[in-house]
A and B are shown apart, each in its own frame.
Chain A
Amino acid sequence: MRSFPVRLVAPGFLLALGLSACGESESACRDLSEAPFCVALLTAGPVSDAGWYAGAYEGLLQIEQRWGAQISHQQTRTASEYDEAFLAYGTEGYDLVFAHGSEYQDAAIRAGERFPETTFIVSGGGRIADNVVPLIFTLENGSYLAGMAAGGMTESGVVGMVGGVRIPPAEGVFLAFEAGVKAVRPDAEVLETWIGTWDDVAAAKEAVTSHISRGADVVVHNTDGASFGVFNAVREAADAGDPTWAIGMNRDQNDIAPEVTLGSAVIRIEDAFVEITEAWRDSEIGGAAYYAGGESEVVDFVANPAVMDRIPADLLARIDSMRTAIRSGDFDPPRVPFIEGEEGYEETGAGAGGG
């Protein structure tokens, strides 16, 4: 029901972009002699989500600060605009284009053929070329730890997961979360709802309310702007005397509703952006997926310091030792394969969605 209006809006959304764009310079990149290189960011949603897109925007700003790069950001609305946006940046001679979401992967391959001088980085992407590089965060690792926290804290034994659009990377995050819950609480029931959009804050709230009425007392999300609805619903339930926890995703969201947030499965997207930019400057990327962070701390579960006294010490210790096991490669949380050439990958031709 929610994709139909978007299509109606499509033809002239660039007009609105003109209003909402963030004020970066429009000038052709090559004319700017003082910038060492030019970097662009494409997002399929607003960067004001305090999450997935906000982290990418933060990364773009850090690249500007660190190297004095010329930066630009564009928000695309529909699939028909992906090619347009790549074309615009390719034509203007941008060196590095971050496309923040797997929905860009097919358009990125086309753009890569057309603009061999430009490197395209697709966050969570699955398709690979010499100058098209998937940036993989393995959020499953943080999500698994978050699931353990949920499994340890639920009293009812019912845990909820509210997602945006059902795409393989997002499904993988929930698969790992559920496994984490059951590692600690094998008899737990895990509810799963997809709202079909990343931004609809009311829909997310409705989905959480539905989970709470089925007995859930810990709810995790994987949405963008809609996540505020998740935190609001949990906060309202807690205020009504129904102790309920929220778990943040993609970014440290512990301060959005600190009194009811257990912790967040975070990707330090900004660190990953800086890291891959460095690798690109050293000509170390291309022709393969790039795994951010390796064994460092790009992905993590961050318990909320404000409620630390309510989380049992042995649960925290268990999460800590699992973190060590995951980072050392002794344990691999389950994931949904979506990268070309990776084990279990199936050609589906589907490539929609984001986060």
Chain B
Amino acid sequence: MIVALSAFLAAGVRLGVPLVLAALGEMVSERAGVLNIGLEGSIIAGALGSVLGAMATGSPALGILIGAAAGLLVGLAFAVPVVWLNTDQIITGTAVTLLGLGGTAAVYTARFGATGAQLDVPQLDRLRIPVLADIPVIGPALFDVAPTVYLTFALAPLLGWFLFRTEWGLEVRAVGEDPDAAAAAGLPVRRLRFGAALFGTLLAGLAGAHLALAYAGTFTENMSAGRGFIAIAVVVLGRWRPWGVLVAGLFFGAADALQYLLQTLGWDIGYQLFLALPYILTLAALGGWIGRARAPAALGLPWPRTH
């Protein structure tokens, strides 16, 4: 029982962390008023970038950084038109998702052949924290994991401090709530939005890099498998707050882990219900049935408004 619970928790953390990473980035972006549904494109670019980077340099750590940079690069294709040219955020985000999925497929097949191959990729090894990793049940799940997982856990309080305790954080939130007032107060609205959106894609790239080098251990086409879209739901369920996003992402991961556990145990019915559960809660959060979930007032709106 203890063993099964421990394995379940570890699986939940493994499945949840890529969502949390991407969702934390999306949260910052949305706080500044930029809804990036092109996240998926940055994640898949991060995955391919990290694999190519790790293979070229022989270092998984450098691979992770290169993956994050690849996510940022694809993010530029979203943030530049959206922030500086006032293009529609939804349409641009859709295009960037397609660009990411199609572009990575093209690069991958050009580099590794049309019919695919197992790649010999240096993996990002787990970093075991002595003593803490020996705690029963939660130890292996939380303290014997890849460095990128610790980074994810550290990011939640860091971003909380940034958004709610610093001047910059206040400015980011201001341009997401009322860009006109922020501009009147002398804030560089577009530069703040640009920075927040790019930070979001950097974390999405990191999520992809983690997925490839610390989790799956390889790259395959479409391996992001919709996580960019799930991350957007995680932001909503987490109510645009760092701790909320952390808990919501891990909850999505736990629901996923639970359905694997139930299938493995041979329960033939109803595991799809556990997959649906986080979405039902997300809808409830949106509908205001669990607490107050209000999106930033200027989310998705271009600035300056053209009439």
- B-contacting residues of A (Cβ < 8 Å)? 1-2, 4-6, 8-9, 11-13, 15-20, 22, 45-51, 54, 57-58, 191-194, 196-197, 199-203, 205-207, 209-211, 213-214, 225-226, 228-229, 231-232, 236, 256-257
Is residue B40 within 8 Å, beta carbon to beta carbon, of the partner chain? yes
A20 CA to B118 CA in the complex, in Å? Answer: 20
17 pairs from A and B in contact (CB 8 Å cutoff): A4-B279, A12-B95, A19-B99, A19-B102, A22-B114, A45-B221, A48-B113, A48-B220, A54-B114, A54-B115, A192-B263, A199-B220, A202-B215, A207-B260, A209-B11, A210-B260, A232-B217
Contact B7 A210 (CB under 8 A): yes
Contact B37 A1 (CB under 8 A): no
Interface string of B222-246 (1 = CB under 8 A from A): 1101101110000000000000000
A15 CA to B91 CA in the complex, in Å? Answer: 13
Residues of A within 8 A of B103 (CB): 19-20
Residues of B within 8 A of A6 (CB): 226
| Contact A210 B225, CB 8 Å, known A9-B101, A228-B216 | no
Residues of A within 8 A of B264 (CB): 191, 193, 207, 210-211, 214
Chain A CB count within 10 A is highest, among B7, B18, B98, for B98
Where chain B touches its partner, the secondary structure class is helix
A107 CA to B229 CA in the complex, in Å? Answer: 28
Residues of B within 8 A of A2 (CB): 225-226
Q: Which residue of A lies closest to B6 (CB)?
A: A213
Contact B223 A200 (CB under 8 A): yes
Q: Which residue of B lies closest to A46 (CB)?
A: B221
Q: How far is the CB of A256 from chain B (nearest CB, A)?
A: 4
Chain A CB count within 10 A is highest, among B103, B218, B265, for B218
| Contact A46 B222, CB 8 Å, known A19-B106, A193-B264, A210-B260 | yes
Residues of A within 8 A of B112 (CB): 48
Contact A199 B94 (CB under 8 A): no
Query: Would you list which residues of chain B between 145 and 165 have a CB under 8 Å from chain A?
Result: none
| Contact A12 B14, CB 8 Å, known A19-B105, A202-B211 | no
Q: How far is the CB of A185 from chain B (nearest CB, A)?
A: 17
Residues of A within 8 A of B109 (CB): 20, 22, 46, 48
Residues of B within 8 A of A210 (CB): 7, 11, 260-261, 263-264
| Contact A193 B263, CB 8 Å, known A8-B94, A12-B95, A15-B95 | yes
Residues of A within 8 A of B18 (CB): 202
Contact B101 A205 (CB under 8 A): no
Residues of B within 8 A of A45 (CB): 221-222
A201 CA to B48 CA in the complex, in Å? Answer: 13
Q: Which residue of B lies closest to A8 (CB)?
A: B229
Q: Which residue of A lies closest to B211 (CB)?
A: A202
Contact A4 B229 (CB under 8 A): yes
| Contact A58 B226, CB 8 Å, known A13-B98, A193-B263, A225-B221 | no
Q: How far is the CB of A325 from chain B (nearest CB, A)?
A: 30
Contact of B221 among A192, A194, A199 (CB under 8 A): A199
A280 CA to B115 CA in the complex, in Å? Answer: 26
Chain A CB count within 10 A is highest, among B216, B228, B230, B265, for B216
Residues of B within 8 A of A19 (CB): 99, 102-103, 105-106
Interface string of B246-264 (1 = CB under 8 A from A): 0000000000110011011
A106 CA to B266 CA in the complex, in Å? Answer: 32
A213 CA to B94 CA in the complex, in Å? Answer: 39
Contact B108 A48 (CB under 8 A): yes
Q: How far is the CB of B159 from chain A (nearest CB, A)?
A: 24
Is residue B97 within 8 Å, beta carbon to beta carbon, of the partner chain? yes
Residues of B within 8 A of A12 (CB): 94-95, 98
A51 CA to B220 CA in the complex, in Å? Answer: 12
A321 CA to B14 CA in the complex, in Å? Answer: 44
| Contact A57 B115, CB 8 Å, known A16-B101, A19-B102, A225-B222 | yes
Residues of B within 8 A of A229 (CB): 216-218
Is residue B15 within 8 Å, beta carbon to beta carbon, of the partner chain? yes
Contact B116 A58 (CB under 8 A): no
Further pairs besides A19-B99, A225-B220: 17, Cβ < 8 Å: A5-B230, A11-B94, A17-B102, A19-B103, A20-B102, A48-B108, A48-B109, A48-B221, A54-B114, A193-B264, A199-B225, A200-B222, A201-B218, A206-B257, A210-B260, A228-B218, A232-B216
Contact B216 A9 (CB under 8 A): no
